[in-house]
Copies of this chain bind each other. A is one copy, B any other.
Amino acid sequence: MKLFTWSIAPNPRRVEIFLREKEIEIPTEDVGVPGKAFLKSKFLEKHPHRRVPLLQLDDGSYIAEAMAICRYFELQFPEPSLMGIEPQEAATIDMWERLAEGEGMQSISEFYRNSKNWFADRSIAGHTKSFEQIPELIKRGTARLGLFYEKFDAQLDNNEFVAGSYFSVADITTLCTVDFASFSNFGIPKHCKNLTRWYDAVSQRSSVSIR
């Protein structure tokens, strides 16, 4: 078993935090080119998925997509639960994780991949076909990110964590989104006091304080 990862990228980080929360240690290989915004050609040529995180299992098969990899480990090592156990709890976590992904992570990614020179013809990840940047998505991405912040700040008004009373994958995706956005100077707006309180608390966890 091996986890292909990339130390500077937000999506592999979701899996890395998840594994540290569960104290699971597995072999990893960082396939990013140091100092560059792309993956090693050796990895890309061998793995048509062309994205990380990517988990290779001992039978040679692969699991892609951060949350699918997390689910693989959640089912084998249920404690501590990060994806919920009871139906309502698990569904609520799933909902908020997907909202964090779709409205948060995808928004800042949209800004990022359409504004940075090093993604000039790679505005969509995971394909050999080139996709030119679309300047209108820079503005749209940041506007959507603002709505994400408002929604999650409201949710955290009555909840200690994103999906309720305990730390879950919904917090992991939200945290990785905030840190990725902060890297581009789009951190939590000052008036989002619930989100700031939550961020200050979760970023102290040993699983996430490494970077």
Neighbour of A87 across the interface among B64, B76, B95, B124, CB < 8 A: B76
Q: Which of A15-57 contact B (CB under 8 A)?
A: 57
CA distance A41 to B100 in the complex (A): 26
Are A98 and B67 CB-contacts (below 8 A) given A87-B75, A91-B72, A137-B134? yes
Interface string of A66-96 (1 = CB under 8 A from B): 0111011101100000000011101110110
Contact B134 A95 (CB under 8 A): no
Contact of A136 among B68, B73, B90, B134 (CB under 8 A): B134
Interface size on A, residues (CB 8 A): 34
A127 → B minimal CB distance (Å): 6
In the bound complex, what is the Cα–Cα distance between A57 and B89 (angstroms)?
12
Please name 28 pairs of A and B residues whose Cβ atoms are closer than 8 Å in the assembled complex, sorted by A.
A61-B88, A61-B92, A63-B88, A63-B91, A63-B92, A63-B95, A65-B99, A67-B94, A68-B91, A68-B92, A68-B94, A68-B95, A68-B98, A71-B91, A72-B88, A72-B90, A72-B91, A73-B87, A75-B86, A75-B90, A76-B87, A124-B140, A124-B144, A127-B147, A129-B147, A131-B143, A131-B144, A134-B137
Chain A residues with CB under 8 Å of chain B are: 57, 61, 63-65, 67-69, 71-73, 75-76, 86-88, 90-92, 94-95, 98-99, 124, 127, 129, 131, 134, 136-137, 140, 143-144, 147
